[in-house]
Amino acid sequence: MSASTFSIELTDRERLIKAAFEAKEFAYSRYSNFRVGAALLTTTGEIVKGANIENASYGGTICAERTAFVKAVSEGKRSFTGLAVVTDVESAISPCGMCRQVIREFCAQAMPILLVPADYEKQLADGVADGGVKETCILALLPDGFGPEDLDRPRVQ
C-alpha cells in the first residue's frame, strides 16, 4: 500500500533525504559496520535526525529510526508527516520490526516512509526519476499492527 492520503512536497522530500544521509555519517556501528541514518519530518517542517548507535551489549543498541523518534518525542514533538531511512546498501532497506512498532505508535498509518538506497544520487544522475526511493507507509510495513487505540478496546470480563 502506498501513502496515498499523505504526501510530502518535493522540497521537503529532498530535505528529508539529505538529512537522513547526514545522520548516517554519525552512526556508531563498530560491531555490525551497518550504518543507518533516519530523518523525521514534523508537522511544523522541522527535521529530527537519528543514527544507529550500537553497544557491546547488543541489547543496548538503538536503531536510527528509534533514535530520531526518541529525540523528537523527548523534546515534545509528536506530530510527523514523513520519515526517510538510508543505509550503505544500494537498495532500499526497510525498518526492523521494533522500529515499525515505534513508527506505528507515533505516526498516521498512511504517513509516507521513504526507503532510500545508498546510491540515490547516482540513480538520479542516471535518470532514475525517484532515485530508486521506495515510498511506503506503516500500514504496508506492519499490517494489522497493534496501536495505541487498541488499548481503548472493551475487554471481555
| Residue 23 is labelled as binding a ligand | no
Q: Which residues are catalytic?
A: 65
Residue 99 known to bind ligand: yes
Domain tally for the chain? 1
Q: Specify the CATH number for the domain of residue 144.
A: 3.40.140.10
Is residue 4 one of the residues assigned to a domain?
no
Q: What is the dihedral of CA 82, 87, 89, 93, to 10 degrees?
A: -40
Q: Is 54 annotated as a binding residue?
A: yes
Q: Which residue has the cell 544500494?
A: 90
Is residue 61 a part of any domain in this protein?
Answer: yes
Helix (H, G, I), strand (E, B) or coil at 85: strand
Q: Is 107 exposed, middle or buried, given 0-12, 13-18 or 19+ CB atoms closer than 10 A?
A: buried
Q: Does a structural domain hold residue 32?
A: yes
Question: Would you say residue 104 lies in a domain?
Answer: yes
DSSP 3-state helix, strand, coil percentages of the chain (rounded to 5)?
35, 20, 45
**2 part of a folded domain:** no
Flag whether 98 is in a domain: yes
Domain for residue 1, yes or no?
no
- Please give the residue range of the domain that contains residue 28: 10-152
Q: Can you give the pLDDT of all 157 residues of the chain as single tens digits? A: 443 456 788 899 999 999 999 999 999 999 999 999 999 999 999 999 999 999 999 999 999 999 999 999 999 999 999 999 999 999 999 999 999 999 999 999 999 999 999 999 999 999 998 999 999 999 999 999 999 999 999 999 8
